[in-house]
Amino acid sequence: MKVVVTGASGFLGSRVADYLLSDQSPITVTELVLVDIQAPPKRNDPRVSSFALELSAPGSAEQLITKNVAVMFHLAAIVSGHAEADFDLGLRVNFDATRSLLDEARRTNPSLIFVFTSTVGVFGGNLPEVINDLTAVTPQNSYGTAKAMSELLINDCSRKGFVDGRIVRLPTVSVRAGAANRAVTSFASGIIREPLNGERSVCPVPPEQKLWLTSPEVVVKNIVYAATLPDDALGPWRAVNLPGFRVSVHEMLQALKVVAGEKVAALVSFEPVELISNMVASFPAKFDNSRALDLGFAVDKNFADVIRAYIRNDLKRPL
């Protein structure tokens, strides 16, 4: 099976690629094409080809979508803080490129399984206490708006038989390894990752702020699992809120204290940043996981175990 991953240089894209190449993958990959604005790292695997590509540039979609591509995982995006700061770039990368890919699938390969990573940031404003898959999208930020537009287009293209779309809305992912990015929720990893590496971290939101979280390990498995669902499993609405769990920043730091000790947790301080606080506060933090769990998606048990998984898999500095 030929598979394409966009955004394959990013944290999640690279891990989706690794998982697809592993023995644990539920998809048998015979050819894997990895693309990003900067060429993804080469892998010592004859199935893999990697190259740089600007997805919104003319002709890019035609290079990626051919008749023999079975699955595309479209993860390429400008993250929330960057999209808010540069509206035109965010719209071009987060919506225009998606539309170009869908147009090419319609012309060339309407049976393509198109897995699109969206965000809980498509919700905002005056929301019900609990969000489900059919809650109306009311984004309060440019990133969420472009993702919501893409969701609606994928749904309509799927309804018309132009593509087999599957939309997975990602909770905030923590703990991400590596350097901080420009997502407004980047602190959700930084307040754990930096202290575990012996560094101070400043949290821009108050301790009582609640978040809807998932771990990298679980979300990668869920992204790939979406491609294995039967074509009629999602019905007319192709978007699924991936399972997560609700936790406050204070509870995250309490879990860090339990796992790594009080001295590590004490490396976190609070300095509110109004723009970030307001955007994060607009995101919902309580979801009904039932549809996703019924479909077979996985969920983390608790945040302490998420921290332990980061220490086990990604921490380079021994505690």
Would you state the pLDDT for residue 180?
A: 77
| Total domains, the chain | 1
Q: What is the pLDDT of residue 318?
A: 63
In a domain, 13, yes or no: yes
| E-state strands within 46-194 | 48-52, 69-74, 113-119, 164-170, 172-173
Amino acid at 178: G
Q: Say if residue 142 is exposed, middle or buried (CB neighbours under 10 Å; 0-12, 13-18, 19+).
A: buried
**Contact assessment for residue 276 and residue 193, using Cβ atoms and an 8 Å cutoff:** no
Please tell me the distance from the alpha carbon of residue 276 to that of residue 54, in angstroms, as a whole number.
29
Check residue 160 and give its pLDDT: 97
Residue 220 maps to a domain: yes
Q: Which two tokens stand for residue 281?
A: 């506060």
Q: Does residue 281 sit within a domain?
A: no
- Mark whether 225 is an active-site residue: no
Structural domain that includes position 151: 2-173+216-241
Q: Is 90 a member of any domain?
A: yes
Establish if 14 belongs to a structural domain.
yes
Residue 248 in domain: no
Which of these is catalytic: 19, 143, 225, 310? 143
Instruction: Give the list of residues 6+ apart from residue 313 with CB closer than 8 angstroms, or none.
Output: 177, 217
CB 240 within 8 A of CB 295: yes
pTM here is 0.94
The CATH code of the domain that includes 10 is 3.40.50.720
Of 2, 8, 48, 67, nearest to 28 by C-alpha is 2
Identify whether 23 is part of a domain: yes
Q: What is the pLDDT along the chain (319 residues), one digit of tens a residue?
A: 999 999 999 999 999 999 999 999 999 999 999 999 999 988 999 999 999 999 989 999 999 999 999 999 999 998 788 888 899 999 999 999 999 999 999 999 999 999 999 999 899 888 999 999 999 999 989 999 999 999 999 999 999 999 999 999 999 999 999 877 778 889 999 999 999 999 999 999 999 999 999 999 999 999 999 999 998 999 999 999 999 999 999 999 999 999 999 999 999 999 999 989 998 888 888 999 999 999 999 999 999 999 999 999 888 766 6
Q: Is residue 300 part of a domain?
A: no
**Residues, the chain:** 319
